[in-house]
Structure 1
Amino acid sequence: MSTCVSCNQPLVLELEEEEDDYSMEASSSGKAPAAAPETVPDDLHLNCGCHFHWDCLLQAYQITQCPNCNKDITSTSSTGQQQVLCNLHNEGGLQENLDILPLLTEESYLRAYPEDRKCRAFLEFCREGDFKAVIEMLRDDDDEDEDEEMDTGEEGAAPQRKIGADELLRYQDPIGDMQSGLHAAVQAGSREVAWLLLLLASKLDLLEFPPEVFQEAEALGVMRDESEGKTDIRSLKDSNGKSAEDLAREVGGVWSDWIGKNRLTM
């Protein structure tokens, strides 16, 4: 069996065994030998010929070069975009000619700015239209003790900067076309999340909001704070210069009756 060029271990991943009452009883009685650990493939084969475990590659990689043989692993797609193609064999099966450059770029950025993992998780919930998860993240920030020590992460690493609710609400993704949570909600077609973000991070007249928005926000314990000096989320534009309303025009559908009402732009 081939091995990972980084750790020299077989290209498999051991699954954690779930112990039930029977297996625990058999083990304690000494009547049954321990079963061999269950494994699944974990083989990332780069176009230079080197094989890695996925985690081993993430820990050692350079985005455009193989960390083992230093060969250039990039190529150009039919659309002229740079890509890093590989064959990935894991629990889900074999995926051939998979472009992992977006994942490598994201991991590189998050290693440099680990505090942004929380912000990007927030945007992902907005993209999924997961109203409850968005609320939970914002409430977690409100519940944290302001004097709590910052997480230092790995030993010797610089302390991670604390991300507050205001920054979460106005975060723009540097490796995701500078989209905001409002852009993400529009893309997801989630009016519920959009109303929530507008309530908490815009200066949109409160008379514009349906009564049920206030009722749900009050039930979940969130409400608009003082907005003086804070960026109105409607003013944020992505790297293509598009406001959330510009994106809503492209998406259409549920946003057709929002266009031109200054709900998604200023």
Structure 2
Amino acid sequence: MATCVACQQPLVIRLEPDEDDENLDTAAASSGKAPAPEPETVPDDVHLNCGCHFHWDCLLEAYEITQCPSCGKEIAATASDGSQQVFCHLHNEGGLQEDLDILPLLTEESYLKAYPEERKCRAFLEFCREGDIKAITNMLQDGDDDEDDDDEEMEDNEQPGREVGVDALLRYQDPIGDMQSGLHAAVQAGSREVAWLLLLLASNLDLLEFPLQVFQEAEALGIMRGITEDKTDIRSLKDANGKTAEDLAKEIGGVWAGWTGTGRLSI
């Protein structure tokens, strides 16, 4: 079996058992009724086009964009549009994926390694893309707690934490994702429910423009609009291509019919 060129260990990872299962297995083994089970393992093999094999985490630790960190060979290819790609065979718990471009994943993980405080922001954008209202709400409520903790730290003359507060989370723009905001992500995913929530919390859109159901759902989730007049209106944010969420909605159409030109997505 091939081994990881970085750590020289087999290209598998051990799955940690659930606590209840582990207790049952331990009890059975100690009673003499059954031998202790072998730890379950799954493949963890990133086979680069240069021929080197890595564990995923080992590759992230040593990652260089254009060259293999082990043999130094060029591993990046150029696509027809001029963008770079890094193809590999990836074998993990989900099975074998051949000729997979892992450059987007490597770029994201490398960025988050340098700026770990933005991991929460990128998770927030992903929830906006998925239309996961419950997860979005939980993150915003956690953000309120983080801001309270920061205030207490400052009162104690300590350095404030690097956690991202609610206002920054709502208006975050992804530096490695075309500077998209949560509203861009919601529009691109066709999630009107998320769009309404973001407009309620991070825009100056007149409250009379909101359907009653939006307020009812917000109340059920335990969230409400704070002071927004002195903050950046999320509708004004532009992505790396200079497009607002309304510009994107015009291109997409579909579920956004009747939204553009009304002020819902533009100031």
TM over 0.5: yes
TM-score normalised to the size of structure 1?
Answer: 0.91
1:140 Cα deviation (Å)? 1.1
Amino acid at match of 2:85: Q
Amino acid at match of 2:54: F
In the alignment, which of 46, 49, 52 is matched to residue 48 of structure 2?
Answer: 46
Q: Which runs of 5+ in 2 are unaligned?
A: none
User: What is the CA RMSD across the aligned residues, in angstroms?
Assistant: 1.9
Aligned to 2:265: 264
Identity %: 75
For each residue in 1:68-119, what CA deviation from the matched residue of structure 2 results, as whole angstroms up to 9, or x when unmatched? Answer: 1122211112333211111111122221111111111111111111110000
1:148 Cα deviation (Å)? 5.6
Greater per-residue helix proportion: 2
For each residue in 1:24-57, what CA deviation from the matched residue of structure 2 results, as whole angstroms up to 9, or x when unmatched? Answer: 3321213432222222211111111111011111
Identify the range of structure 1 (84-93 vs 14-23) with the bigger mean alpha-carbon deviation. Answer: 14-23
* SS of the residue 1:48 aligns to: coil
Aligned to 1:184: 185
* SS of the residue 2:116 aligns to: coil
In the alignment, which of 111, 114, 118 is matched to residue 113 of structure 2?
Answer: 111
1:234 and 1:130 mapped to 2: Cα distance? 20
Identify the range of structure 1 (221-230 vs 5-14) with the bigger mean alpha-carbon deviation. Answer: 221-230
1:98 and 1:49 mapped to 2: Cα distance? 15
1:219 Cα deviation (Å)? 2.5
* SS of the residue 1:135 aligns to: helix
Amino acid at match of 1:122: F
Q: For 1:134-213, list aligned pairs within 5 A.
A: 134-144=136-146, 145-147=149-151, 161-213=162-214
Contact 2:171 2:202 in 1 (8 A): yes
TM-score normalised to the size of structure 2?
Answer: 0.91
1:111 and 1:25 mapped to 2: Cα distance? 40
Residue 32 of structure 1 pairs with residue 31 of structure 2: no
Count of residues paired in the alignment = 259
1:84 and 1:214 mapped to 2: Cα distance? 46
Amino acid at match of 2:32: G
1:146 and 1:243 mapped to 2: Cα distance? 32
Contact 1:115 1:160 in 2 (8 A): no
Q: For 1:80-119, list aligned pairs within 5 A.
A: 80-119=82-121
1:159 and 1:116 mapped to 2: Cα distance? 16
1:21 Cα deviation (Å)? 6.4
1:88 and 1:159 mapped to 2: Cα distance? 41
1:22 Cα deviation (Å)? 4.9
Aligned to 1:230: 231
* SS of the residue 2:150 aligns to: coil
Aligned to 1:153: none
Aligned to 1:12: 12
Identify the range of structure 1 (97-106 vs 86-95) with the bigger mean alpha-carbon deviation. Answer: 86-95
1:164 Cα deviation (Å)? 0.3
